[in-house]
Amino acid sequence: MKSLPVPVTLLLFALAWAPANPSLHAEWKAGVARTVITPSEPMWMAGYGGRTAPASGKQTELYAKALYLEDGQGSRGILFSLDLVGVDRFFSTALCARLEKETGLSRAEIALCTSHTHSGPVVGQNLAPLHYMVLPPEHREKIDAYAQRLSAQLVALAREAMSAPVAVRLQAASGKATFAVNRRNNKPYSDVPEKRDRGRLEGPVDHDVPVLTVRDSGDRLVAILFGYACHATTLPFDRWDADYPGYAMTSLETRYPGSLALFWAGCGGDQNPLPRREVALARYYGRKLADAVSDTIDAPMPELSPQLAVEYTEIEAPLARIPERGELLADTESTNRFEVARARYLLERLEEHGGLEDHYPFPIGHWELGGRIDLIFLGGEVVIDYALRLKKERRGTDTWVAAYAHDVMAYIPSLRVLREGGYEGGGSNVYYGLPALWDESIEETIIRAVHSGSSTPE
């Protein structure tokens, strides 16, 4: 056998024993999937306490969508975008345990994002005193059955998205959409159009529209992930509808055939689309949001290197004074049916666990994409102050703060909003079933946990 020249032999030996460079051939890989989650039978709708009957029909489909990412070095994550008002901790915890068992995904690799549409179904015991606890048994049975079906659908969705990831490149940038209005500072709502025309709208807002695009090797758009900080409360009707986020996603998928558009809700706890209460307005806001995304896509978008880091933690978010059993028993005699429902809900927990905890296990997720984009996932209905502060203290418009993620357990007020009071400041806790207001340390506790759990640029 003919011998190889010495220089070639040495080169082959060096290559065989050289330490692997994980970034040498690293590339993003991605997979997407979607499924319809519109209830097939009439059942109760989530978000408003004034409804007196189940949904009467369908205006649009409701979807669950998934985007799966791998960075080529072993890190991976899956993001679910759900046309729902929210999910509760029990549902989220059980689903993530099932996903880990059946797909191998760890908790840190899973992000559950809801659009907060108020024209979707009740899921499990999310907003239990507002819905589950005041409904007759036949409606509670439908809610339970729907949650079970949804869990199975999301596991199947994850498997589909993970089944055959393809090589892709990721780009990220931010646009602007201005229809979100601070609802605490602009009342009555009827004055908003005139105030807007005159440039006199008040209160903090966040009009950024973060956009992540996923393109395959042929430069075709595979997925468009985007967010916006505003309630999905344009519609007060009794028909299934994904509200303005759904219309935005549909518009984008029409503009970019073959792509999957996924939405996450930002810190819009105190932000409303105003004016509202018309389907035409929901479609209009959807188009405006889609326009902002399209403008961002059409402009130069920086590419993200194939690096993904994922984290997840739960912190002890402090509550104020917990009521005694006698106080809860007194609340069961209230003339407010939702206060009665919360009291009964808490008494059941007290009997089952022997007491009520003085904190809540608040979920915080963090994905760092390409060493540049901070994608932070916070539970609950987070007010705008958190997004504005985290952007200022971290990476500006490269810090993306998703709320309504993992577990929607209550409004999350800043210290300012908590002290001002009102619905977002604590009045809404009745409908979520929290036993008390948040402690005044809530904002610092969450902000500190976000900073300590992920890298912050100097």
- Reported as a single tens digit per residue, the pLDDT across 353-392 is 999 999 999 999 999 999 999 999 999 999 999 999 999 9
User: Is residue 2 predicted with pLDDT exceeding 80?
Assistant: no
pLDDT digits (tens, 9 = 90+) for 164-182: 999 999 999 999 999 999 9
pLDDT of 14-71, one tens digit each?
A: 333 333 444 445 799 999 999 999 999 999 999 999 999 999 999 999 999 999 999 9
Is the pTM higher than 0.85? The answer reads yes
Share of the chain above pLDDT 90, in %: 91
The pLDDT value recorded for residue 396 is 97
Which of the four pLDDT bands, split at 50, 70 and 90, describes residue 5? very low
Average pLDDT in the 79-91 region?
98
pLDDT confidence bin for 454, thresholds 50/70/90: low
Q: Where exactly are the structural domains of the chain? A: 28-315+361-453, 323-356
| pLDDT greater than 80 at residue 257 | yes
What percent of the chain is predicted at pLDDT more than 70? 93
Question: Cβ distance 306 to 437 under 8 Å?
Answer: no
